[in-house]
Amino acid sequence: MRALEETLLGELVLIEASIDFSEEDLPAHAPGATLETATKARAAIAALLESEIAGERLRRGIRVTILGGPNVGKSSLYNALLGEERAIVSPVAGTTRDILRERIHVGGFTCRLEDTAGIAETRCEIEAKGIEIARAAALEADLVLFVVDGSEEIANETKNEISRIDPEKLLCVLNKSDLGLRYSREEARERLGARDALAVSALKREGLENLRAWIFDKTVKRAAGDLDRERIAVNARQAAALREADEALERLETAIGEGAPAEILSVDARCALDALGAITGRSMSEALLETIFTKFCIGK
């Protein structure tokens, strides 16, 4: 941000000097150079704004929703990932009817883990509402862990339910591996129509480290990967200031293209710098005068 400010400030200094000290023997202001600077600054701002979504995801916690049919071990997996018994585990179908939410840490980052009602045909109005909520949660989730009983035959209803989910955020979890898997990982992926499948035993706490590593790679690592070394995860306030700066620079580009006088260019350049100053806390008025009198020998 400081480097961006300094670059824009350098152009504003030339603009202001050409207005206020036109009688002095100062370097001429070149609108073409200012246009090039504004264009590069807008590209830098755009790169920063790209990190807003990834940054927000990392700050609020990555939403991981557990979905699947009844009695496949969703609540057992939920408890296993939490490391404590928070969801009631019962062989009775429909035990979980509302969403249970807790936070877990994966690789030092927060994930918001959700346990949902089992997806099945039902005549119970309350259970049907729970299933509706579960499907809605899966649509909004950053990652969906679709749990199936890996020891049993894969039903057509399961494949149909999986087809509703964005494959980019789907992992099929083959639970109950301690009972012996009915299919290999590759066969299960093909039968389920999923890109990824992972075997675990929630009961025996087996395969959970591999599952956590997969969650990290597909969510935290992906979000963090959107932020390179030159960018940071900006927050909402910073993003608003950056957009304000970008709008001012867009006006500056338009003004230069229309051949507007230096006074107009100065206003737009100042607006951009004031917006950036809202992030860095720097006063542009003071910085401008200091730079002008430091850079030029005015009055000597």
- Residue 268's pLDDT is 94
- Residue 43's pLDDT is 92
Per-residue pLDDT for 209 more than 80? Answer: yes
Per-residue pLDDT for 244 more than 70? Answer: yes
- Shortest CA distance to 107 belongs to which of 218, 202, 4? 218
Per-residue pLDDT for 232 more than 70? Answer: no
Q: Give the domain ranges of the chain.
A: 2-56+235-295, 61-225
| Paired residues of 173 in beta bridges | 147, 198
Assessment of whether the complete model's pTM goes beyond 0.75: no
- Rg for the chain, CA atoms, rounded: 28
At the fourth CATH level, which superfamily is domain 61-225?
A: P-loop containing nucleotide triphosphate hydrolases (3.40.50.300)
Structure tokens that stand for 63 in this block: 């939403």
Residue 120 CA to residue 132 CA, distance in Å, equals 11
Mean pLDDT rounded to a whole number for the chain: 82
Structure tokens that stand for 233 in this block: 């995860």
Per-residue pLDDT for 85 more than 70? Answer: no
**pLDDT grade for 230, boundaries at 50, 70 and 90:** very low
CATH classification number, 2-56+235-295, choose in 1.10.1740.10, 1.20.120.430, 3.30.1520.10, 3.30.390.50: 1.20.120.430
Helical (H) or strand (E) element with 67: strand 62-68
- Residue 25's pLDDT is 55
Per-residue pLDDT for 23 more than 60? Answer: no
- b (16+ CB within 10 A) / e for 132-168: eebbebbeebbbbbbbbbbebebeeebeebbeebeee
The answer to whether the 2-56+235-295 and 61-225 domains have the same CATH topology is no
